[in-house]
Chain A
Amino acid sequence: MNPAFHKLKDRIAVVGVGNTAYGNFPHTDDYGLGAEAFRNALADCGLEKNQVDGLGVCRLPYYARMGEILGLNPRWTVQFPAHGRMSAMAIIEAAAALDAGLCDYAALIYANIGRSRRVNYGGEESPGVWDPFGFTSPGAAHAMMFQRHMALYGTTTRQLAEVSVAVRHHACLNPDAVMKQPITIDDHEAARPITMPLRLLDYCLINDGAVCLILTTKDRAKDLKKKPVMISGIGAREAYTGSSISNFNLNFWHDEVQDVAQQVYGMAGVGPNDVDALMCYDNFSPTVLFSLEGLGFCKQGESGSFVEGGALRVGGRLPTNTDGGHLSNSYMQGWALNVEAVRQVRGECGARQVKDAEVVQFVATTPCSRSIIYTPG
């Protein structure tokens, strides 16, 4: 346990969240989308633009250009690379900076224009050491893990389908979501094969959009428009050994996520049974299974049966990715899931609202695994 994380318990609040529409927007660019998300997050919390004195940007090309566009000259800036695992890493960095007094109000802005600019996530775009064997793309790494999970534990693709089907159900309840056609387990089984055992419906979307979160300290949060949502728990562990096989871990990052679980639940003073909704980084559907096992919602190898029968739906055993996640809402690389966590705690989610959601957890099971627990302020 990292004692510094305990120190941050319930000291930092998310006070404003904003997002753009999600889709294909060739008429603008990442800065344009980022500015719109920032404007929406400001309106959400009622803060004046010039009170923002901390700026974190992710997947935007250049922090200074973003600052210039927004007319901001902050005293804290961090640029995060365009990797999916960065959202909770950035939120934790901002929380630590706020607590240390490096800034008073931090805006974190993420923008993605992968759809309109035809990003592929493989091949010549991302050269790697295994290319001569035809191995490329994060999806293939997850297919490699899921094949092994099937062999070790008897997990089936019909069980995996439960993840895609549940989050699509949520997307159908979310007016912002990209994908709004309900799907069935049979649809999942018949979808176009990409890198088997994974098919199209196991893959995240690629779409344009942007997200902004504004954070501040507990005391400052009291003066803003909405009830603050507190960061009550944080957990973190990297797995860099063996990462030459990108986005892959032979044991599904189980040890690392168990470590994250111990930290985040210990700090928040809750356990898996207390979690009202889970926002789970779903770059590919198997990640959700690995996350459930690592966090202790079930034993290792038992996630397939855990998710059966619609367990991940709102109203089910563990409502998961209630906005539709990366698979069906929007590929905002964890950022929109953190926004959804905040909105669930606030009770703003309409048809997809989890009743009395008080403990909402984000988790990203990746080479940099992270979890955050959000609770009402």
Chain B
Amino acid sequence: MSSMKPRPKPDVFNKGFWEAANQRQLTVQRCDDCAHSHYPGTPVCPGCLSSKQSWVPVSGRGTLLSWVRFHRAYWDGFREEVPYNVILVGLEEGPLMISNLLGAEPEDIRIGDAVEVAFETVDDTLTLPKFRPAGAVA
């Protein structure tokens, strides 16, 4: 049952990310003073400790850095999906993101291949940023 899957827990430091995701926009947090880009969100910039930071759109392009396949369901909500893939993506802008590969299985592509964001609507209040092989037809 998909409703039993864990959901993001928006808080004061990451709600900008999830609001943008619901608008099908991938963002990372960027420092207004030194342009340090990072994800997840932080109360101050890890580069210069500034409190002035914004959620800024990124290209959505990245590289597959690694992947795994879960054969064990740690939540009931994933029980019917095992064995499912989880991927590690290095965004063009630097930050790393954990997500899932859509439109292909990781076994079919290679670590180092290009991927691009592909949004998956869960319900009215949640859209998850996932990825597909770059250039694949949506």
Q: Given A147-B68, A245-B98, A250-B96, does the pair A136, B74 have CB atoms closer than 8 Å?
A: yes
Query: Which positions 100-144 of chain A face chain B at CB distance < 8 Å?
Result: 120, 122-124, 127, 129-137, 140, 143-144
Query: Which positions 1-57 of chain B face chain A at CB distance < 8 Å?
Result: 5-9, 14, 39-40, 46
When the two chains form their complex, are residues B78 and A193 in contact, meaning their CB atoms are under 8 A apart? no
Q: Given A132-B6, A195-B69, does the pair A120, B83 have CB atoms closer than 8 Å?
A: no
Contacts of B40 in A (CB 8 A): 129, 244
When the two chains form their complex, are residues A123 and B75 in contact, meaning their CB atoms are under 8 A apart? yes
Query: Which positions 181-229 of chain A face chain B at CB distance < 8 Å?
Result: 192-197
- Distance in Å: Cβ of A125 to nearest Cβ of chain B: 9
A299 to B93, CA, bound (A): 30
When the two chains form their complex, are residues A144 and B83 in contact, meaning their CB atoms are under 8 A apart? no
Q: Given A140-B68, A195-B71, does the pair A134, B96 have CB atoms closer than 8 Å?
A: no
Contacts of A122 in B (CB 8 A): 74
Query: Which positions 43-94 of chain B face chain A at CB distance < 8 Å?
Result: 46, 65-72, 74-75, 78, 81, 83-84, 86, 88
Cβ-closest chain B residue relative to A124:
B75
User: Does A242 sit within 8 A of B, measured CB to CB?
Assistant: yes
Q: Kindly state the interface size class of chain A when it binds its partner.
A: 20 to 34
The residue from B74, B81, B98 contacting A137, defined by CB atoms under 8 A apart? B74
Which of B6, B100, B111 gathers most chain A CB within 10 Å? B6
A122 to B68, CA, bound (A): 15
Contacts of B69 in A (CB 8 A): 193, 195-196
When the two chains form their complex, are residues A131 and B6 in contact, meaning their CB atoms are under 8 A apart? yes
The residue from A120, A132, A147, A244 contacting B7, defined by CB atoms under 8 A apart? A132
A148 to B110, CA, bound (A): 10
Contacts of A192 in B (CB 8 A): 71
When the two chains form their complex, are residues A132 and B88 in contact, meaning their CB atoms are under 8 A apart? no
Q: Given A134-B78, A135-B86, does the pair A140, B70 have CB atoms closer than 8 Å?
A: yes
A322 to B79, CA, bound (A): 38
Which of A131, A193, A250 gathers most chain B CB within 10 Å? A131
Q: Given A134-B84, A137-B74, does the pair A143, B68 have CB atoms closer than 8 Å?
A: yes
Q: Kindly supply a per-residue 1/0 record for chain A positions 143-158, scoring 1 wherever the CB is within 8 Å of any chain B CB and 0 otherwise.
A: 1110110011000000
A241 to B83, CA, bound (A): 30
A136 to B77, CA, bound (A): 13
- Distance in Å: Cβ of B59 to nearest Cβ of chain A: 20
Cβ-closest chain A residue relative to B14:
A129
Q: Kindly supply a per-residue 1/0 record for chain A positions 318-362, scoring 1 wherever the CB is within 8 Å of any chain B CB and 0 otherwise.
A: 000000000000000000000000000000000000000000000
Q: Given A127-B6, A196-B83, does the pair A250, B65 have CB atoms closer than 8 Å?
A: yes
When the two chains form their complex, are residues A147 and B111 in contact, meaning their CB atoms are under 8 A apart? yes
When the two chains form their complex, are residues B128 and A133 in contact, meaning their CB atoms are under 8 A apart? yes
When the two chains form their complex, are residues A196 and B71 in contact, meaning their CB atoms are under 8 A apart? yes
Contacts of A244 in B (CB 8 A): 39-40
Contacts of B68 in A (CB 8 A): 140, 143-144, 147, 195-197
The residue from A133, A145, A193, A245 contacting B71, defined by CB atoms under 8 A apart? A193
Query: Which positions 84-138 of chain B face chain A at CB distance < 8 Å?
Result: 84, 86, 88, 96, 98-100, 110-112, 126, 128, 130
The residue from A120, A143, A245 contacting B96, defined by CB atoms under 8 A apart? A245
Contacts of B8 in A (CB 8 A): 129, 131-132
When the two chains form their complex, are residues A120 and B74 in contact, meaning their CB atoms are under 8 A apart? yes
Q: Which residues of A contact B (CB under 8 A)?
A: 120, 122-124, 127, 129-137, 140, 143-145, 147-148, 151-152, 192-197, 241-242, 244-245, 250
Q: A134-B70, A134-B74 are in contact. List 14 more A-B contacts (CB 8 A).
A: A123-B74, A127-B9, A131-B6, A136-B74, A145-B66, A192-B71, A194-B72, A195-B70, A195-B71, A195-B72, A196-B69, A196-B71, A245-B96, A245-B98
Between-chain CB contacts (< 8 Å), 23 pairs = A120-B74, A124-B75, A129-B8, A132-B126, A132-B128, A133-B130, A134-B74, A134-B78, A134-B84, A135-B86, A136-B74, A136-B75, A137-B74, A144-B86, A147-B67, A147-B111, A151-B110, A192-B71, A193-B69, A241-B46, A245-B88, A245-B96, A245-B98
